[in-house]
Amino acid sequence: KNQVEQSPQSLIILEGKNCTLQCNYTVSPFSNLRWYKQDTGRGPVSLTIMTFSENTKSNGRYTATLDADTKQSSLHITASQLSDSASYICVVSDNTNAGKSTFGDGTTLTVKP
């Protein structure tokens, strides 16, 4: 069964600090891994997307890494800002014709001043 597990479930950090969120998956065959940011009450917004051959992708202060061998990904946020407070969702898609996605439960990040 395809699964995506994220850790930690929640995280509190001080403004300006860095943090790393984890995502482990068992989706097969693998197509891509995406990270989304979701503000409370809003739709998720895409941060990065990585295919099998990519092991790092950056989007401003967000850097995602992918280790396809261990089936792990991380999202690193540098110099956190109050606006980074949100839920971060890891999504992994399979390589079937329909490209079915499996969603993680998300990590809730709170950045405090």
Partner 1 sequence: KAGVTQTPRYLIKTRGQQVTLSCSPISGHRSVSWYQQTPGQGLQFLFEYFSETQRNKGNFPGRFSGRQFSNSRSEMNVSTLELGDSALYLCASSLYREGDTQYFGPGTRLTVL
**Contact positions toward partner 1, by CB under 8 A?**
31-32, 34, 36, 41-46, 49, 89, 93-95, 97-101, 103-106
Question: Rounded CA gap, 110 and 33, in Å?
Answer: 23
The residue type at 33: L
CB of 104 to partner 1, least distance (A): 7
Decide whether 83 or 97 has the Cβ nearer to partner 1.
Answer: 97
As measured in angstroms, the least distance from the Cβ of 110 to partner 1 is 15
Pick between residue 27 and residue 77 the one whose CB is nearest to partner 1: 27
Q: Which is nearer to partner 1, 45 or 79 (CB)?
A: 45
For the chain, the C-alpha Rg in angstroms (whole number) is 14
By CB neighbour count within 10 A (0-12 exposed, 13-18 middle, 19+ buried), where does 16 fall?
Answer: exposed
- In this structure, the strands spanning 10-14 and 107-112 are parallel
One-letter amino acid of 81: Q
Q: Which two tokens stand for residue 107?
A: 């990590």
Residue 98 Cβ vs partner 1, minimum distance, rounded to whole Å: 5
- Of 9 and 70, CB closest to partner 1: 9
Q: How far is the CB of 40 from partner 1 (least distance, A)?
A: 10
